[in-house]
Chains A and B, each alone.
Chain A
Amino acid sequence: MMNSIQQTLTHSLDMNEQTLRDYFTKTPDLVYCHLLIGEPKKRALLVYLNTLVDKNSINNNIIDPLLFETKQINTIVDIQLPIGAKSYSTKWEHVIQRIFQGETALLLDGDDHVLLLDTQGWPQRAIAEPQIESSLKGSHQGFIETCEKNIALIRRYLPHQQLKIEETTVGRRGHTSVALLYLEDVTHPEVLQELKDRIEQIDVDTVVNTGELMQHIEDNPFSPFPQFLLTERPDAAVSNLLQGRIVIIVDRSPSVMIGPMTFITFFQTVDDYSTRWMIASFLRLLRLLAFFMAIFLPSAYIATLSFHYEIIPLNLLLTVGESRERVPIPPLLEAVLMELAIEMLREAGLRLPAPIGQTVGIVGGVVIGQAAVEAGIVSNIMVVIVSLTAIASFIIPNPDMSESIRLLRFPMMIIASLFGLVGMAIGLMLIIGHLISLESLGTPEGSPFAPARLRDWKDTILRFPLWMMRTRPLSARPTQLTRQKKFRK
Chain B
Amino acid sequence: MKRWTYMFLCLFFIVGCNAKTQLDELTLALTVGLDESQNGKLLVYSISPVFNKESENIYEVIRTSGVTTRDGRSKANAFASGKIVGGKVQNVIVSKTFAETHDMFSYLDVFYRDPKNSITANFIVFDGPLKKLMYIHLKDKPRLSVAIRDVILTAHTSKQTTKANMLLFHRLALDRAQTPFAPMLKVHKGDLVAGGIALFNEQRKYVGSLSQTESPYFSILQKNIKPSTFLTLAIKGLTKQKEYISISVEHGDFSYKPSFRNGTFHFDAHMRLGVVMTESTTYIDMKKEKKKLEKLLAKEIQKQLELVVKKLQTYEVDPIGFGLYARAYEYKQFQKQKSWAKAFAKAEINIHPTVEIISYGVLQ
Answer whether A and B are interacting partners. Answer: yes
Whether the Cβ atoms of A419 and B24 lie closer than 8 Å is: no
Q: Are A305 and B23 in contact (CB under 8 A)?
A: yes
Q: List chain B residues, Cβ under 8 A from A322.
A: 51
Task: Give the chain A neighbours of B16 by CB distance below 8 A.
Answer: 418-419, 423
- Please determine whether A309 and B21 come into contact, CB atoms closer than 8 angstroms: yes
Give A288 Cβ to nearest chain B Cβ, in Å: 29
- A321 located at the interface, meaning its Cβ lies under 8 Å from any Cβ of chain B in the complex: yes
The docked-state distance in angstroms from the alpha carbon of A326 to that of B21 is 18
Tell me the complex Cα distance, A320–B24, Å.
10
How far does the alpha carbon of A331 sit from the alpha carbon of B23 in the complex, in Å?
Answer: 9
Interface membership of B66, Cβ < 8 A: no
Q: A318-B143, A418-B13 are in contact. Are A310 and B23 (CB under 8 A)?
A: no
Q: Which residues of B contact A330 (CB under 8 A)?
A: 22, 24
CB contacts (< 8 Å) of A418 on chain B: these are 13, 16-17
A306 and B17 alpha carbons, distance in the complex (Å): 9
Q: Which residue of A lies closest to B22 (CB)?
A: A306
Given known A309-B87, A310-B118, A418-B16, contact A325–B52 (CB-CB < 8 A): yes
Chain A residues, Cβ within 8 Å of B143: 318
Q: Which of A315, A321, A419, A423 contacts B51 (CB 8 A)?
A: A321
CB distance from A325 to the nearest CB of B (A): 4
Q: Are B28 and A309 in contact (CB under 8 A)?
A: yes
Q: Tell which of A305, A315, A320 touches B146, judged by Cβ atoms closer than 8 Å.
A: A315
B19 touching A307, Cβ below 8 Å: yes
Asked if B87 contacts A324 (CB within 8 A), the reply is no
CB distance from A426 to the nearest CB of B (A): 9
Whether, in the assembled complex, B90 has its beta carbon less than 8 Å from a beta carbon of chain A, the answer is yes
Contact B53 A317 (CB under 8 A): no
Once bound together, how far apart are the Cα atoms of A418 and B28, in whole Å?
A: 22
Q: Do B21 and A306 have beta carbons less than 8 Å apart?
A: yes
Judge if B208 is at the interface, Cβ distance under 8 Å: no
Contact indicator B22/A318 (Cβ below 8 Å):
no
Interface membership of A126, Cβ < 8 A: no
Q: CB within 8 A of A307: which of B21, B30, B85, B90?
A: B21
Partner of A310, one of B19, B49, B87, B146: B87
Residue A452 lies at the interface, judged by CB distance under 8 Å to chain B: no
B352 is an interface residue with CB less than 8 A from chain A: no
- Which chain B residues border A305 with CB–CB below 8 Å? 22-23
**Which A residues from 292 to 342 make CB contacts under 8 A with B?**
305-307, 309-310, 314-315, 317-318, 320-322, 324-327, 330-331
Interface footprint category on B:
20 to 34
State how many angstroms separate the Cβ of A319 from the closest Cβ of chain B: 10
Q: Which residues of B contact A306 (CB under 8 A)?
A: 20-23
Q: Which of B127-168 contact A (CB under 8 A)?
A: 143, 146, 149
Known contacts A310-B118, A314-B146; decide if A324 and B20 are in contact (CB<8 Å).
no
Q: Quick check: A314 and B22 within 8 Å, CB to CB?
A: no
For chain A, residues 381 to 424, give those with C-beta under 8 angstroms from any C-beta of chain B.
418-420, 423
Residues of B close to A324: CB separation below 8 A: 23-24, 51
For A317, the chain B residues whose CB sits under 8 A away are 23, 28, 88
Distance A306 CA – B118 CA, assembled complex (angstroms): 18
Q: How far is the CA of A330 from the CA of B21 in the complex (A)?
A: 11
Contacts of B118 in A (CB 8 A): 310
Q: B17 to chain A: closest CB distance in Å?
A: 6
Q: Which residue of A lies closest to B149 (CB)?
A: A314
Residue of A nearest to B116 (CB): A310
A321 contact set on B, CB distance < 8 A: 23, 28, 49, 51
Cα–Cα, bound, A419→B51 (Å): 26
Q: Quick one: closest A residue to B118, CB to CB?
A: A310
Nearest chain A CB to B10's CB is how many angstroms away? 13
| Interface residue? B26 (CB, 8 A) | yes
Chain A residues whose C-beta falls within 8 Å of the C-beta of B23 in the assembled complex: 305-306, 309, 317, 320-321, 324, 331
Q: Are B88 and A326 in contact (CB under 8 A)?
A: no
Contact partner of A326 among B17, B53, B87, B90, CB < 8 A? B53
**What 0/1 pattern do residues 101 to 140 of B give for CB contact below 8 A with A?**
0000000000000000010000000000000000000000
Residues in chain B near residue A309, CB distance under 8 A: 21, 23, 26, 28, 85, 87-88
A420–B52 alpha-carbon span in the complex (Å): 26
Inter-chain contacts of A419 with B (CB < 8 A): 16
Which of A314, A325, A330 has the largest number of chain B CB atoms within 10 A? A314
| A376 CB → nearest B CB, Å | 10
**A314 and B52 contact, CB distance less than 8 A:** no
Residues in chain A near residue B20, CB distance under 8 A: 306-307
- Neighbouring A residues of B85 by C-beta, 8 Å: 309
Q: In the complex the two chains form, what is the Cα distance from A318 to B13 in whole Å? A: 32
Cβ < 8 Å to A, chain B residues 24-81: 24, 26, 28, 30, 49, 51-53
**Shortest distance between the CB of B339 and any CB in chain A (Å):** 38
- Chain A residue nearest in CB terms to B30: A314
Distance from A267 Cβ to chain B, minimum over Cβ atoms (Å): 30
Chain B, residue nearest A426 (CB): B12
**C-alpha spacing A206/B82, complex, angstroms:** 63
Subset of 6 A-B contacts with CB under 8 Å: A305-B23, A307-B21, A320-B23, A324-B51, A330-B22, A420-B19
Could you list which residues of chain B lie within 8 angstroms of chain A, going by C-beta atoms?
13, 16-17, 19-24, 26, 28, 30, 49, 51-53, 85, 87-88, 90, 118, 143, 146, 149
- 3 residue pairs, one from A and one from B, having the closest CB atoms: A325-B51, A310-B87, A418-B16
Q: A305-B23, A326-B53 are in contact. List 11 more A-B contacts (CB 8 A).
A: A306-B21, A306-B22, A306-B23, A309-B26, A309-B28, A317-B28, A318-B143, A325-B24, A325-B52, A330-B24, A419-B16
